[in-house]
A and B are shown apart, each in its own frame.
Chain A
Amino acid sequence: MSKICIVEDDQAIRGELEALLRNSGYETESLTDFEHSLQLLSESAADLFLMDINIPYLNGEELLRKLRSTRETPVIMLTSRTSETDEVLAMSYGADDYITKPYNPTILLLRISAILKRASNAPAALSYRGLQVNPAKGSLSRNGDEIVLTKNEMIIFQLMLDNQGRIVTRDDLMTALWDNDEFVNDNALTVNISRLRAKLADFGCEDAIETRKKQGYILK
């Protein structure tokens, strides 16, 4: 389980971020003593830092720059500023990504999972009930049998697989699709899901995707 360290001085946002991340299966820790931020972060065991730009004592940019001289842990900058300058600076100091407040929580989660995957280097061999998942090829295979998924189906399947056993809402799926420039509408999403179901059923996983009324879907 990945551990995410939240560096944010607004107490309300910090609390909600913790809840959001824990609900999505991450461990969290929060920095509260900003006076010793650099030292505490250097010693932290986190796999990823979520860092606000406007924090007391050392601001986010400086903190990031100093942190980068000692460790390479991925950092996502959270910024409330609406000017491009801070983001360009943040990136030049070595942030892996940035998100502007008020942020879309689903996008934040997508970014986190993308960056953690990239950081863990060895692409964990994805599999589901004995099926080999090849995101790059966009296919599922078992014992030489292969089924090709469309780009949309792959995006949907991957998001469900990342959240296996948890409810994934239609809104989450939409966000992931739109984030990949697939501007699908409601009907198209329904069609994509039923095609994905049919393809999984071909491999004998008939009940793989369960519909939860008014909530979303669960990959079992």
Chain B
Amino acid sequence: MKLSDFLRDRIVSISAAAVGLALLLLFMYTYRVPSELLGAAVILFLITLTVAELWEFFRRRSFYDKLTSQLEQLDQKYLITEMLDEPQFLDGRIFKSVMEEVNKSMCDNVAEFRRTDADFREFIEMWVHEVKLPVASLQLMAHNHRDEFGEKAQDQLRRIDSYTDQVLYYVRSENAEKDYLITEVSLKKIFSNTAMRNREDLLMRGAELSAHDLGYSVMTDGKWLEYMLGQLIANSIKYAHEDRTLTIEVWAEKNGSETMLHFRDNGIGIPASDIHDVFRKSFTGENGRSRSKSTGMGLYIVKSLCQRLGHKVEVSSVQGEWTEFIFTFADNELMNVV
């Protein structure tokens, strides 16, 4: 709080005092009051006025400076009311009690939303698990009655299954709750599970898979990683180059205390102008617009899941040539101790 700002704010009172003083002087002058007395009155008046204004200024400054500096340091700004001393002036006290009231009402509101959100999330999780039952029994039925219809039904069931998974992982990626389980998992096992889950789609596209040097273990949630790799495979299929056989190469390497998993395809690639945005929510870009089925959610979910698990995910690409994703897993020192 600057003195000049304060004075500008007080301009009306100060001007009123000045006008009052001038009138008083004029009055005294017309009554021929001796000039020494006049001078003394002016000085006394100015001293009291200055002292009063300075006192006002300092008690306000001490309160507001503390307020602004604490606000700056606070991570959660709304906690500021808890940190304030009771102000020594009336409008400060009114202001503080209003702030407290507003804050409480906001907190109640947020809590209400958080509760509804948690309920909704719980419901979605439950629903996804419930819906897997009829999907499972339909898959068995389609398998037990293998004919043209059965095979078509299986294709559609796989689509339903992957859409329900997307809902589940979207809900999980948005939520702050810790619902993952980090264990030591083998990249080889994870990749072969993922490949198996996406086998029909890969075969239909005539894709060639090459997996090598996957003999590493990383600390992660296996299910989540399988889901993320599944998303990458789905993208490779969606954005395959029409003039050549889709080839997906997956390998891992150890780099000091980090393990890197590479996933590279020879698809249509990502335009340089889009590459920085591919992990953004709802971003579809040039490829997404030219091929209608993009929702812009897949890679966003991949990125959020990675952030929650503490992995890094990067992408590089040459348009028309290839796209490569790299996951980086940090070693866990505990793992070596145990």
Task: Give chain A's interface residues, CB within 8 Å of chain B.
Answer: 10, 12-13, 16-17, 19-20, 23, 80-85, 88, 101-107, 169, 174-175, 178-179, 181, 183, 185-186
A186 near B206 with CB under 8 A, answer yes
Q: Which residue of B lies closest to A188 (CB)?
A: B208
Q: Which of A80, A88, A183 contacts B181 (CB 8 A)?
A: A88
A-B contacts, CB under 8 A, total: 89
A84 near B222 with CB under 8 A, answer yes
A102-B139 CB under 8 A given contacts A169-B146, A186-B206:
yes
B188 near A181 with CB under 8 A, answer yes
Q: Which 3 A-B pairs rank lowest in CB-CB distance, beginning with the nearest? A: A16-B140, A102-B136, A183-B209
Q: Which residue of A lies closest to B207 (CB)?
A: A185
Docked CA distance A106–B179 (Å): 30
A10 near B133 with CB under 8 A, answer yes
A186 near B140 with CB under 8 A, answer no
Which interface residue of B161, B196, B208 has the most chain A CB atoms within 10 A?
A: B196
A85 near B181 with CB under 8 A, answer yes
In the assembled complex, which residues on chain B have CB atoms less than 8 Å from the CB atom of A178?
A: 192, 195-196, 199
Q: Which of B132, B146, B221, B222 contacts A80 (CB 8 A)?
A: B132
Indicate whether B211 reaches chain A with its CB closer than 8 angstroms. yes
A83 near B181 with CB under 8 A, answer yes
Task: Give chain B's interface residues, CB within 8 Å of chain A.
Answer: 128-129, 132-137, 139-141, 143-144, 146, 157, 161, 165, 168, 179-181, 183, 188, 192, 195-196, 199, 202-203, 206-211, 221-223
B206 near A13 with CB under 8 A, answer no
A80-B199 CB under 8 A given contacts A20-B143, A23-B144:
no
With both chains docked as a complex, state the minimum distance between the C-beta of B211 and any C-beta of chain A, in angstroms: 7
Docked CA distance A20–B183 (Å): 34
Docked CA distance A13–B199 (Å): 23
Q: Which residue of B lies closest to A17 (CB)?
A: B140
With both chains docked as a complex, state the minimum distance between the C-beta of A107 and any C-beta of chain B, in angstroms: 7
Q: Which of B129, B165, B183 contacts A84 (CB 8 A)?
A: B183
Docked CA distance A80–B135 (Å): 11
In the assembled complex, which residues on chain B have CB atoms less than 8 Å from the CB atom of A174?
A: 199, 203
A12 near B211 with CB under 8 A, answer no
Q: Could you jot down 25 A-B contacts, CB within 8 Å?
A: A10-B133, A10-B137, A12-B137, A13-B137, A19-B144, A20-B140, A80-B129, A80-B132, A82-B128, A84-B180, A84-B223, A85-B181, A88-B181, A88-B183, A102-B136, A102-B157, A102-B161, A105-B139, A105-B140, A107-B196, A175-B196, A178-B199, A181-B192, A183-B195, A183-B202
Docked CA distance A166–B134 (Å): 28
Docked CA distance A103–B180 (Å): 22
Docked CA distance A106–B129 (Å): 22
Docked CA distance A10–B143 (Å): 18
By DSSP majority rule, is chain B's interface helix, strand, loop, or mixed? helix
A84 near B181 with CB under 8 A, answer yes
B203 near A186 with CB under 8 A, answer yes
Q: Which of B144, B165, B192, B196 contacts A16 (CB 8 A)?
A: B144
In the assembled complex, which residues on chain B have CB atoms less than 8 Å from the CB atom of A82?
A: 128-129, 165, 168, 223
Q: Which of B132, B144, B180, B199 contacts A101 (CB 8 A)?
A: B132
In the assembled complex, which residues on chain B have CB atoms less than 8 Å from the CB atom of A80?
A: 129, 132-133, 136
With both chains docked as a complex, state the minimum distance between the C-beta of B16 and any C-beta of chain A, in angstroms: 72
Having A23-B144, A80-B132, one finds 7 other A-B pairs with CB under 8 Å, namely: A13-B133, A13-B137, A88-B181, A101-B136, A105-B140, A178-B195, A183-B211
Which interface residue of B144, B192, B208, B209 has the most chain A CB atoms within 10 A?
A: B144
With both chains docked as a complex, state the minimum distance between the C-beta of A135 and any C-beta of chain B, in angstroms: 20
Docked CA distance A106–B221 (Å): 26
Docked CA distance A174–B209 (Å): 14
A101 near B133 with CB under 8 A, answer yes
With both chains docked as a complex, state the minimum distance between the C-beta of A142 and any C-beta of chain B, in angstroms: 34
B129 near A105 with CB under 8 A, answer no
In the assembled complex, which residues on chain A have CB atoms less than 8 Å from the CB atom of B144?
A: 16, 19-20, 23, 105
Q: Which residue of A lies closest to B157 (CB)?
A: A102
Q: Which residue of A lies closest to B191 (CB)?
A: A181
Q: Which residue of B lies closest to A84 (CB)?
A: B181
In the assembled complex, which residues on chain B have CB atoms less than 8 Å from the CB atom of A19?
A: 140, 144
In the assembled complex, which residues on chain A have CB atoms less than 8 Å from the CB atom of B143?
A: 20, 105-106
Q: Which residue of A lies closest to B185 (CB)?
A: A84
Q: Which residue of A lies closest to B227 (CB)?
A: A82
With both chains docked as a complex, state the minimum distance between the C-beta of A26 and any C-beta of chain B, in angstroms: 14
In the assembled complex, which residues on chain A have CB atoms less than 8 Å from the CB atom of B141?
A: 16
In the assembled complex, which residues on chain A have CB atoms less than 8 Å from the CB atom of B221?
A: 84
B196 near A104 with CB under 8 A, answer yes
Q: Which residue of A lies closest to B222 (CB)?
A: A84
Q: Which residue of A lies closest to B209 (CB)?
A: A183
With both chains docked as a complex, state the minimum distance between the C-beta of B330 and any C-beta of chain A, in angstroms: 19
With both chains docked as a complex, state the minimum distance between the C-beta of B237 and any C-beta of chain A, in angstroms: 14
A102 near B181 with CB under 8 A, answer no
With both chains docked as a complex, state the minimum distance between the C-beta of A202 and any C-beta of chain B, in angstroms: 30
In the assembled complex, which residues on chain A have CB atoms less than 8 Å from the CB atom of B180?
A: 84
In the assembled complex, which residues on chain A have CB atoms less than 8 Å from the CB atom of B133?
A: 10, 12-13, 80, 101
